[in-house]
Amino acid sequence: MARIYPFRAWRYNPSAVRLADVVTQPYDKISPAMQQAYYQRSPYNLVRIILGLPELFDAEKGENVYSRAARDLRAWREQGVLIQEHDPCVFAYAQRFQVPGTDIVKERRGFIALGKLQDYSEKVVFRHEQTLSKPKSDRLNLLKATRAHFGQIFMLYSDPSGSVEKNLYDGNGAADAEITDEYGVLHRLWRVNNPATIRLLTTAMDDKKLIIADGHHRYETALNYAKEHGHATAHAESGGSGLPQPPYPEAAVMMTFVNMDSDGLVILPTHRVVHSLEGFDPAAFRAKAEEYFTVEPLATGDAQRYIGTLTSQTGTAFVAITRGGDFFLRAKPEQMAKALAEVPERQRQLDLTQLHSIVLDRLLGLDAEKVREQTNLRYLRDAGEAVEQVRKGEADVAFLTNPVTMEQLREVAFAGEVMPQKSTDFFPKLLSGLTIYALD
């Protein structure tokens, strides 16, 4: 049973700041250049809290990015830069965007509310990816310091009829907030504080199971934090308004809920870039790869052409970019089935399972621990950037991949299995700072 709750969100005060100057992409999608640009945009830009610049703090005085984040949050609340909603609300949240690399325009609709944190063993919330150690440690330190959540976990639920969404969007007037981000995505937000509408929504979600689309690290961090803080402060899941509320503040986290059966979902590939290998030899790599793949040399080209070649193929395939030449790798089904005999069938068919288990582990020696710690591995959405890093000598080899499909994700998640880290890249991302959930 998925439990959702309205909440008294903290939001940027439109009379104090311009929303476009203060909201950001999710913390893990902020490049160093974007980080600098956000800093310059406003002294109240959320990047100062969710991804502070370490060089700006005096370690000798006991300052760090987390203590500064907590200080800024307190100050912005006291100064009225952030103001709190008077009533518990949920928020309808729509994103209109052009699908990258195409002329197709879509709109993805969802809603922001609190969602109860539930252990995976309860089989209400399902993950689809492995997580990495460093991001969880970082997010836990920020949560402990600020006791607040600044971005939403991106959750998927199934509703083929679209009835949940219909209740929220029918009759909407002008948006309460509207912003176009750096990727040309139009984000619109509507406050929903009608108790009858909220009750209909919470009831409609009661029988839903949820899949984490984005935010695995923040979800697991919040879940562990909730387990640490839940015993002394628990109370009944009903507020004075008669609307449901979490049993204790830490028991819930901000989520954006999106219907996985809607047309607005777009998943992009995340390419793998391998660097700092000792004695990497492209010719030797190619020879080893031929045990599992048909290897076809490619004439040197750009990323766009390579992606076109890749998407036109059926079956598992990758493009490998090396300084000794570029190759098209097509999996040999019999050899792959034998090599991955102990892997569940639905997992065995995934391109990224074969890339991680065979190419990264067996051929390049990057075992699960090295992948988890990101010792020699970077993840990039931009295929051109992945190719360029190899061309410039900043990486040994890059692997361009096809995206995971929604059907594959659903099957793997509901089976209680997980894909390799960074298997999916949902586009567009949910903006951080549209709403804030403070635990106290």
Mean pLDDT, the chain, whole residue set? 92
Taking the C-alpha atoms of residue 399 and residue 278, their distance in angstroms, rounded to an integer, is 18
Percent of the chain with pLDDT over 70: 97
Taking the C-alpha atoms of residue 432 and residue 202, their distance in angstroms, rounded to an integer, is 24
pLDDT (mean) for 397-411: 93
pLDDT (mean) for 404-415: 92
Question: Is it true that the peptide bond before 269 is cis, omega within 30 degrees of 0?
Answer: no
**CATH number among 1.10.3470, 3.30.1760, 3.40.1710, 3.40.630, domain 270-402:** 3.30.1760
pLDDT digits (tens, 9 = 90+) for 113-125: 999 999 999 999 9
pLDDT of residue 368: 84
pLDDT digits (tens, 9 = 90+) for 151-210: 999 999 999 999 898 888 877 789 999 999 999 999 999 999 999 999 999 999 999 999
Q: Where are the domains of the chain?
A: 4-10+86-266+428-438, 270-402
Which residues are within 8 A (CB) of 74 and not within 5 positions of it... i.e. 6 or more apart? Answer: none
pLDDT digits (tens, 9 = 90+) for 202-240: 999 999 999 999 999 999 999 999 998 875 555 556 555
3-state secondary structure of 302: coil
Fold classification of 4-10+86-266+428-438 is 3.90.1530
pLDDT digits (tens, 9 = 90+) for 44-71: 999 999 999 887 777 667 789 999 999 9
